[in-house]
Structure 1
Amino acid sequence: MQKSAPHGELRVLVIMPAWNEEETIGQTIAELQVKRPDLDLIVVNDGSIDQTSQVAQAAGAKVIELPYNMGVGAAMRTGYKYARYKNYDVALQMDSDGQHLPEYIETLLDGLQRADIVIGSRFAGKSDYEVSGPRKWAMSLLSVMFTQISGEKFTDVTSGFKAANHRGIQQYCDFYPAEYLGDTIDATVMAIRSGCKVVQVPVQMRERQGGTPSSGPIKSAIYLVRSFFAFAISMTRQKTSREG
């Protein structure tokens, strides 16, 4: 595991993937700038057909434009590659719909003192965020599977609120799949099997602050089913070794 420098000495990039989020992204950026003006931000516009890019730029964000809707996996890989190219110490993933609270960024950064990748968990004691039905059962089973392979307690492996140090950034550049379904599962399994230290920390989240979710109940169910396949496939891939 790579040791992190004190927070004040770290160059931190917030990566915010966005697809048709004109209704929420301006306020999300404004809230981040007020609460964490010390952090850099890059918005990866994933082929939006609305005014997402214009709203983000008007709010003061730098925007990378993807030529068409390629999925959040491709958007995040683009963001991590930008972080590597610019030699950031930390890349921090944050949704553009307002679900992730900037005040918990410090909690993620604290976690990097003992890990390479830190996942913010909605279900680790800080939040009243709830899911139910098959989605809850599938997430619970995935959490058990991750706990078994890592030795760390996991309750929210599909969370998109996470931070990575240099080693974690390189891992995501190499293994973040360029599609949505299964991306978090596949990338996190490969990180653990490659020797990265992956932990979770408790955070609060809220419901999206506007707009339309990119996946409804059916797509969410398909995502979770495919996540199990992604987990199984990732477990059969050849391990890589990353020195800290």
Structure 2
Amino acid sequence: MTTNISLTERIDKLNICVIIPTYNNHKTLNRVLDGVLAITSKVIVINDGATDTTPEILKNYTDKITQIHLPQNKGKGNALQVGFRKALELGYDHAITIDSDGQHFPEDMEVFVQALEESDEDVLLIGSRNMEHDSVPKKSSFGNRFSSFWFWFETGIKLNDTQSGYRLYPLHALPKKFFTNKFEFEIEIIVRTAWNGVPVKNIPIQVLYDPNERVSHFRPFKDFTRISILNTVLVILLFVYIKPRDFIRNFKKKSFKVFLREDLFSTQDTALTKAQSIALGVFCGIAPFWGFQTAIVITTAVLLRLNKPLAFAFSNVSIPPMIPLVVYGSLKVGSLFVEKEASFTLADTFDFSQLKEHLFQYLVGSFILAIGMAIVFGVGSYLVLSHRGKNRG
């Protein structure tokens, strides 16, 4: 993009600030600060409880930058969150984060600014380093490949570099609360921001690893364990909440006619696959998975490669008007298998104190009814869909 205004003016126009979290990087802090200040004065530094000469260095910049001094080290993720809150308080829309260990080049901020100028929506940009360069530690290269794989698995977005701390964040599009506050935070924030529908992209940057200056606070065993735990949690959330949520949002956009045309009659799925999807939906809708039917049916349909819209649609057999019938049917079926039969009529099936008293009877009957109705709907739909397919052929 060609422009006649300076990088400083472009940063001001886009309402961008620079956030620098720092912890015991006194060897490189001066150089990083001077390099950034040569471009913009919109700088927020978070001293994360440094025990070296960082506080003394920052005294020389008292009137030049916004400073936050944390009394003790709580981790990079916490420092970044403190910086984001301060940036929002000061009215900024975007924040470029840059590490204070000297590996990043302040002049590369122009790459972020240009990419933001060319975007017509909120975007989270991550500086992509050349991880094959001789100066890059092998453990960093492996860790980046590991992280990039899980990011792709959790979001469907392929990136070359997910661990670079040189980033541009859309402040108003970030999640409000986070689970983590150390190194793994930088993984959590990009995954969950992507889940919010914000594009996450790589842009090329330079990198410098000087072993005489750079101080890494990454603890291989502890931090790798934290990252692994985080990825486990994110994968669970992906299948239990995110995929069902996204599916429902897309499903709600369809009319009933579109659903019948696209998902029931016009898909490439076989009659058997459709019938199995319907049977799964009916089973999950009747079985006592209160509050979790949608998550269970969508997750199971994904794992079994069934038709998700069909499974979800038929799981709604337990919509409110049908609940009394489902509960009553479950209790009556359960009474055939449980020795102590409860005396229920259709009119009083919503007496939850009685339902609690005969919970075992309900649970047994519910699962048996769910299996029976799944077989009925599955076989019935298979016969109908197979017959329709033969007629069309």
Q: Matches of 1:93 and 1:79 in 2, distance apart?
A: 9
Instruction: Say which is worse superposed, 13-22 or 141-150, in terms of deviation.
Output: 141-150
Q: Does 1:118 align with 2:121?
A: no
Q: Note the 1:11-26 alignment, pairs <5 A.
A: 11-26=15-30
- Which of 182, 185, 188 lines up with 2:187 in the alignment? 185
* Structure 1 gaps, min length 5: 1-5
TM-score scaled by length of structure 1: 0.80
Cα distance, 1:96 vs structure 2 = 0.9
The one-letter amino acid of 1:210's match is E
- Which of 95, 100, 122 lines up with 1:96 in the alignment? 100
Q: Matches of 1:160 and 1:196 in 2, distance apart?
A: 18
Q: Note the 1:127-206 alignment, pairs <5 A.
A: 130-132=136-138, 136-147=141-152, 149-164=154-169, 168-172=170-174, 174-206=176-208
Q: Matches of 2:152 and 2:52 in 1, distance apart?
A: 40
Cα distance, 1:176 vs structure 2 = 4.5
TM-score scaled by length of structure 2: 0.52
Q: Note the 1:52-71 alignment, pairs <5 A.
A: 52-59=54-61, 60-71=64-75
Cα displacement string for residues 121-159 of structure 1 (whole angstroms, at most 9, x for unaligned residues): 11389x6653425x5344224323434554543011111
Cα displacement string for residues 199-242 of structure 1 (whole angstroms, at most 9, x for unaligned residues): 1111111115625321244455445534533542553575599x
Q: Matches of 1:124 and 1:217 in 2, distance apart?
A: 18
Q: Matches of 1:54 and 1:189 in 2, distance apart?
A: 37
Pick the structure with greater CA Rg.
2
How has the CA–CA distance of structure 1 residues 238 and 81 changed in structure 2, closer, same or farther, with 3 Å as cutoff?
Answer: farther
Q: Does 1:232 align with 2:238?
A: no
Cα distance, 1:175 vs structure 2 = 3.8
Q: Note the 1:206-225 alignment, pairs <5 A.
A: 206-207=208-209, 210=213, 212-219=215-222, 221-222=224-225, 224-225=227-228
How has the CA–CA distance of structure 1 residues 224 and 207 changed in structure 2, closer, same or farther, with 3 Å as cutoff?
Answer: farther
Q: Matches of 1:160 and 1:237 in 2, distance apart?
A: 30
Is 1:12–1:88's contact at 8 Å kept on the other side of the alignment?
A: yes
Q: Matches of 2:157 and 2:76 in 1, distance apart?
A: 26
The one-letter amino acid of 2:53's match is Q
Q: Does 1:86 align with 2:90?
A: yes
Cα displacement string for residues 174-216 of structure 1 (whole angstroms, at most 9, x for unaligned residues): 1444521421111111101111121111111111562532124
Cα displacement string for residues 59-84 of structure 1 (whole angstroms, at most 9, x for unaligned residues): 44331011211111110001001111
Higher strand share: 1
Residue in 2 aligned with 1:3?
Answer: none
SS at match of 2:19: strand
* Structure 2 gaps, min length 5: 1-9, 247-393
SS at match of 1:23: helix
How has the CA–CA distance of structure 1 residues 175 and 123 changed in structure 2, closer, same or farther, with 3 Å as cutoff?
Answer: farther
SS at match of 1:199: strand
How has the CA–CA distance of structure 1 residues 187 and 237 changed in structure 2, closer, same or farther, with 3 Å as cutoff?
Answer: farther
**Higher RCO (CA-CA < 8 Å; seq separation 6+):** 1
Q: Matches of 1:155 and 1:129 in 2, distance apart?
A: 17
How has the CA–CA distance of structure 1 residues 124 and 7 changed in structure 2, closer, same or farther, with 3 Å as cutoff?
Answer: farther
Identity among equivalent positions (%) equals 24
Q: Matches of 1:104 and 1:25 in 2, distance apart?
A: 17
Instruction: Say which is worse superposed, 152-161 or 202-211, in terms of deviation.
Output: 202-211
Is 2:87–2:95's contact at 8 Å kept on the other side of the alignment?
A: yes
Aligned residues: 230
Q: Matches of 1:149 and 1:226 in 2, distance apart?
A: 14
Cα displacement string for residues 71-106 of structure 1 (whole angstroms, at most 9, x for unaligned residues): 111100010011111111221101111111111111
The one-letter amino acid of 1:24's match is T
